[in-house]
A and B are shown apart, each in its own frame.
Chain A
Amino acid sequence: MSSLPPVLKAPPFEIASGSFPTFFIKPETGLSSLALRELWEYRELLYFLTWRDLKVRYKQTVLGAAWAIIQPFFMMVVFTLFFGRLAQIPSDGIPYPVFVYCALLPWQLFAHSLTESSNSLVANERLITKVYFPRLVIPISAVLGGLIDFSIAFVILLLMMVYYGIRPSWAVVTLPAFVLLAMVTALGVGLWLSALNVKYRDVRYTINFVIQFWLLATPVAYPSSLIPLRWRALYGLNPMAGVVEGFRWALLGKSGGPGALLAVSVVVVILILIGGLYYFRRMEAEFADVI
C-alpha cells in the first residue's frame, strides 16, 4: 500500500555516528541507585541554579550583599551585650565578640542553607513538573548559595581578628573541612526536609522552629567546655557542635582540638546524609505527581 502523491521528504541523515545513550523508563521499584554520575553530568545546571538564586536575591535590594554582613554582625552585637556583658558567660579566654562571631558564621551558613534547601523543591515546582534533571541538583544548589554570604561575612571576622590581635595557628588549614561539614549537615537534613515538604506542607512551618531549638543546642553563645567532660563526646551528636568547636579551634586556636566530639559529629553527619540521599531518591519519582 503506498500513497499518492509522493510526499516530499529529505532523506534522514545521521546526526551522530557514535552510539546513542539509551534510557529505560520503568515503574519505581524499591531501592534505586543514587545516580551520582548523572548528577555530575548536570553540574552546569547546578552552577546556573546557584547563580540564579544569588543574582535574584540581591537584584532588587538597596543594600545588596551588605545584608550578608548585617545579619551576623548585629547578632554578634546583641549576643555580646546580653550573654557576654550581662550574663557574663565564659568564652574560653577569647574576647567575647570574636568568640561569638566565629560561631555565628558557620551557624548562619548552616541555618540559611537548611532553610533554603528545605523549601527548594516546593519553590522550584515549575521546573520539577516540566523538565527532567536529577532532582538532587535543587537542594544542593540551595546549599551552595549560602557560601557567598558566608565568604562576605568572613571578611568581618578577619578584621575583628586583626583588631583583637588574634593570630591563627597552622590549624587554620582545616577550616575548609569545617565549612564543608556545616554544608553537608545542612544538606543531609535539608534532603529529608525538602522531600517531606513536597508531601507534607507542614514541614515549612517547622523549619524555623527546628532552627531556633538547634541554635540553643549549639555552642554559639557559650563554649562547649560548659558541658561536663564525660558528656562532651555525646554532645557531638549535634553535628553543629562539632562544626562550631572546629571553627573556634581552627581560627582562634585557644580551645584545644575538638577530638572525640568532632568524630561523633562526622559519623552522625555521614549517616544523616546517606539516609537523606536514599530517602530523597526514593521519593523523587513521586515529586512531579505530588508537588
Chain B
Amino acid sequence: MSEIAIKCEGLSKQYRIGQQERYRALRDVVTGAAGFPFRRLRSAISSSNGNGNPQSEIRESQYIWALDDLSFEVKPGEVVGVIGRNGAGKSTLLKILSRITKPTKGGAEIHGRVGSLLEVGTGFHPELTGRENIYLNGAILGMRKAEIDRKFDEIVAFAEVEKFIDTPVKRYSSGMHVRLAFAVAAHLQPEILLVDEVLAVGDAAFQKKCLGKMGNVAREGRTILFVSHNMQAMSQLADRCILLADGRARFDGNTAQAVALYLGDETNARTPLGEYAAPKEKAGNHIAWARVHTSESPGIHHWGEPISFEFGLRIVDPQESLCFAFNVRNSFNYNACYFWLFDSETNFGREPGTFVLKCEVPKLRLYMGSYTITAWLSERRGDTYFEMVRDICPFQVSMTNMPRNEYDWIPELSTYLEDGSWAPIERVS
C-alpha cells in the first residue's frame, strides 16, 4: 500500500465571476470583435448619459479564486471531512479531485481508483425502470456490468424497492428515488471515495442507514473525503476535518475542533461575541439586550470561573404572570443548561419599563466548546409567547487555565466537568 492516497499541492482554481451567464453566443464574440473600436466611444456616451451598463465591463475583468493554494495529504484508510460555508471551495475541491474539472494552478496526486459521489442518482432517467437505472447509474459511477450483476440483489434490498424494480422511476416517490440512487452509490467499491453532501437527502431513518453504511465503508479501510453541512455526521464519521474558508484551509486536524471553529465562525458572522441588542423596530414586550459577562475577554470564558448572564427586558404591555427563561446551547444545538425566572417569584412585568435580570453562576462547569444562548419571554395564563431569541451572545469556554500534562484536553470529552475528588487509594490484594 502506498503511503499516501491523496496529495494536493498548491491546488488553485480560478473562476470568472458572473458564471450565471456561462456560455456565450457566437454573436457576442462576433459583435465583440467588430464592436471593439466603438466600445470606447459607446462607453463615453453612456457614461455621459448616466444610464450606461458598466456591469458588462466589470464582469469581464473579475475573477475569483475558488481554491487558493490548497495543500494537504490524506493517508490510505483515513476519513477526512471537508467543511466550510457556501462558496468556501468544498465542491470545487471535490470536482478537481474527481477529475471533472482541471485546476488552474498546482496539482494533485491520487493513488487508487476514485469513486466520486457528487450527487445521488446522476444519470437516472425517469423513463427507465428501477432495474435499468441501477445498471445505467452503476456504469456511470464506474462499475463493471459483472460487478453490478453480482451486487444487484443487495442494492435492491438496501433501497427497499423490491416490488417496484420494474416500474419506471418516474412513478417512484421521491423517497424511493433517493433510496435507490443512494443504494447504487453505496455499493461502489473504489479505494478512494469522494462524497459531496449526499446525506442531506432522504428521511431520517434512511439517513441513519446511510451513515451506517458509510461508517462500514470507512472501517473497511477505504479512504474517504467527504463534504457535509451535517456536523453530527461529520463528528461521527470523520477522524480529521479540513475547514475551508475562501479557498484556503483555515484549519486541518481534529474533527471536533474544526466543527467548533466552523460553528463559532458562523455565529461570529451574525453577532458580536457575548452580546445581543434587539433591532430598533422591535415592539411589544421584548428582550432589549443581553450580555454574557465572561471571565476573560468578551466572549471568552475560563472553565470553572464565575459567569453571569444579563438581560434587559422592555415591558410595554404589563402582565400578571410573566415568565422568562433561557438555555445555554452547545455547538450541536443541544441544550446544556436551563435557567428560569417567574414573575410570581420576583416582579418584573407588572408595570411598564426596562428591567435588568441578571443570573449569576458561581462556577461554570460547562466543558470547553462554543455556546450560545436562547432566551424567551412568555406569559403563563394566556399561554402566549412574547419573544424567543435564538442563538444569541455566542461565547467560548476554554480550558487553557487548567492544562493537563499527561493528556491534552480534547473537545467533546464531556458536556460538564463536575467537581469530584478521588478517595485515597487502597490496595486490596
Contact = CB atoms under 8 A, between A and B. Distances in A.
B183 interface: no
The contact size tier of chain A is: 35 or more
Nearest to A126: B122
Contact of B127 (A2, A15, A59, A201): A59
Interface string A1-31: 1111101011011111000111111111000
B128 A55 contact: yes
Interface string B131-175: 010011001111011000000000000000000000000000000
Nearest to B122: A130
Contact of A12 (B24, B106, B122, B221): B221
Given A20-B111, A25-B109, A288-B101, A131 B128 contact: no
A200 B102 contact: no
Contacts of B114: 23, 132
Given A48-B136, A59-B127, A60-B127, A130 B119 contact: yes
Given A22-B110, A131-B118, A131-B140, A3 B127 contact: no
A48 B139 CA distance: 7
A285 B127 CA distance: 31
B1 interface: yes
The contact size tier of chain B is: 35 or more
A4 B220 contact: no
Interface string A136-174: 000000000000000000000000000000000000000
A271 to B, nearest CB: 24
A92 interface: no
A89 interface: no
Interface in B97-113: 97-113
B265 interface: no
Given A23-B99, A23-B109, A12 B76 contact: yes
Contacts of B111: 20-22
Nearest to A60: B127
A27 to B, nearest CB: 6
B400 to A, nearest CB: 15
A198 interface: yes
Contacts of B103: 25-27
A127 interface: yes
Contacts of A199: 23-24
B24 A133 contact: no
A126 B136 CA distance: 14
A276 B29 CA distance: 21
A199 B141 CA distance: 26
A7 B239 contact: yes
B410 A4 contact: yes
A201 B21 CA distance: 12
Main SS class of interface, B: loop
* Residue with the greatest number of chain B CB neighbours at <10 A, chosen from A14, A15, A285: A15
A199 B28 CA distance: 11
Contacts of A202: 25-27
A16 B140 contact: no
Contacts of A215: none
A34 interface: no
Nearest to B97: A25
B222 interface: yes
* Residue with the greatest number of chain A CB neighbours at <10 A, chosen from B29, B99, B141: B99
A2 B25 CA distance: 59
Given A25-B108, A130-B100, A16 B191 contact: yes
Nearest to B143: A44
Contacts of B107: 24-27
A2 B118 contact: no
B126 to A, nearest CB: 9
Contact of A15 (B99, B118, B221): B221
Q: Which 6 A-B pairs have the closest CB atoms?
A: A12-B77, A12-B221, A202-B26, A48-B139, A25-B108, A132-B99
27 contacts: A3-B408, A9-B219, A12-B221, A20-B111, A20-B112, A21-B113, A23-B109, A24-B110, A25-B99, A25-B109, A26-B103, A44-B145, A45-B140, A48-B135, A48-B139, A55-B127, A55-B128, A127-B140, A131-B118, A131-B123, A131-B141, A199-B24, A200-B25, A202-B27, A288-B95, A289-B22, A291-B22
Given A23-B114, A44-B139, A200-B23, 7 more contacts: A4-B413, A13-B220, A25-B108, A48-B140, A129-B100, A132-B114, A202-B25
Interface of A: 1-5, 7, 9-10, 12-16, 20-28, 44-45, 47-49, 52, 55-56, 59-60, 126-133, 198-203, 285, 288-291
Interface of B: 1-2, 15, 22-27, 29, 76-77, 95-114, 116, 118-119, 122-123, 125, 127-128, 132, 135-136, 139-142, 144-145, 191, 219-222, 239, 407-408, 410, 413
